[in-house]
Chain A
Amino acid sequence: MASELSCRELVELVTEYVEGTLPGDELERFEQHLVYCGPCATHVEQMRETIRVTGSLREADLDAAVADGLLEAFRGWRDGRS
């Protein structure tokens, strides 16, 4: 039987875990560890929340001057078509 994962080892595998790329035997060890280790379950939850926060970042709009330049380019394209 494969040896148990320590917490310190598990934290290095979280992205592979959430990406679904952990090979079968490692996935099994990972999930077995989570069953009895609350702190690691919390760590995995923190990583998922981190992904969610990053995914919620919104970009500022383009500067007005850049947007105006784009609109001008658009009109040039539109009016230049036959």
Chain B
Amino acid sequence: MLAMPEIEAPLPEESVASRDDAALVAALRTGDEAAFTELVGRYGGLMLRVARLYVPTRAVAEEVVQETWLGVLRGIGRFEGRSSLKTWLFRILTNTAQTRAAREGRSLPFSALAQREVGADEVSVDPDRFIPQGERWAGYWASSPRRFDDLPESRLMSAETFAAAKQAIDGLPAVQRAVITMRDIAGFDSEDVCDALGLSAGNQRVLLHRARSKVRVALERHLDEEGAA
């Protein structure tokens, strides 16, 4: 047998990076530290963002993330893969965060805040963009919006555009921020989000619509400004 040159020894970091969630779970069960580091790298930042939806400070959110991982390690032997690892992870996270938020004395749960947000009178697009009542074609666009997909991808997906989107999301009312973070950033389906936040499907949809509409307005403004500059 040929001697293996040292340079071809497997690089642990590379092999870990290509592993999928199922393989990482299996490795984690055997106490594989690289698998743990990989999972924390993959989901840690997103977990912190979601935890931050529930608790008042970043420091408390970091504690929630830590507590969640302890729960994950304690429960990893029971994880059966019926839901995805990500779903399971975030279920533990939102339960942990909710318990912690209650202890921190946050006044109202999302379901109660949602009533207020849904009840507010809001439109998705500035009424001035439409032809006014009483005129011919009332309620139709006064002038057409501009397509986003005509822009170069490098501009639409630029750090500046991302910053504008993040700023708009940070400025949303609490439940709208929670819904768009879980649906569009974290990528969960509506059922999971309704469960996590205690919302009806209808309210979840209304708040998602309002959140997306506000982010759209922010992007339109940002991209117009850039175009004019």
Which single member of B31, B44, B139, B146 contacts A67 (CB below 8 Å)?
B44
| B101 within 8 Å of A (CB atoms) | no
**Interface-lining segment among B10-18, B62-70, B83-91:** B62-70
Report the minimum CB–CB distance from B13 to chain A (whole Å). Answer: 15
Instruction: State A71–B215 Cα separation when bound (angstroms).
Output: 36
Q: B225 at interface (Cβ–Cβ under 8 A)?
A: no
**Nearest CB in chain B to that of A75: its residue:** B33
Query: Hey, which chain B residues are within 8 Å of A58, CB to CB?
Result: 45, 162
CA distance A55 to B180 in the complex (A): 10
What 0/1 pattern do residues 195 to 229 of B give for CB contact below 8 A with A? 00000000001001100110110011000000000
Contacts of A49 in B (CB 8 A): 148-149, 156, 219
Instruction: Classify chain B's interface size.
Output: 35 or more
Q: B145 to A46, Cβ gap below 8 A? A: yes
CB-CB under 8 A for A42 and B146, given A66-B66, A67-B40, A77-B73: yes
- Contact between A12 and B149, CB atoms less than 8 A apart: no
- Contact among B33, B139, B208 with A7 in the assembled complex (CB-CB below 8 Å): B139
Is B192 interfacial (CB 8 A cutoff)?
A: no
B residues near A78, Cβ cutoff 8 Å: 31, 33
A residues in contact with B113, CB < 8 Å? none
Cα separation A67 to B123 with both chains bound (whole Å):
42
A35→B90 CA distance, assembly (Å)? 41
**Cβ of A39: which chain B residues have Cβ within 8 Å of it?**
140-141, 143-145
**CB within 8 Å for A57 and B124 given contacts A50-B219, A74-B36:** no
Residue of A6, A50, A56, A70 near B162 (CB, 8 A) is A56
Report how far A41 CA is from B37 CA in the complex, Å: 45
Is A25 on the interface with B (CB-CB < 8 A)?
Answer: no
In order of increasing CB-CB distance, the 7 nearest A-B pairs are A59-B45, A6-B139, A15-B209, A39-B144, A49-B148, A39-B141, A54-B184
Interface residues of B (CB under 8 A from A): 31, 33, 36-37, 40-41, 44-46, 48-49, 62, 65-66, 69-70, 73-74, 123-125, 127, 130, 138-141, 143-149, 156-157, 161-162, 165-166, 169, 180, 184-185, 187, 190, 205, 208-209, 212-213, 215-216, 219-220
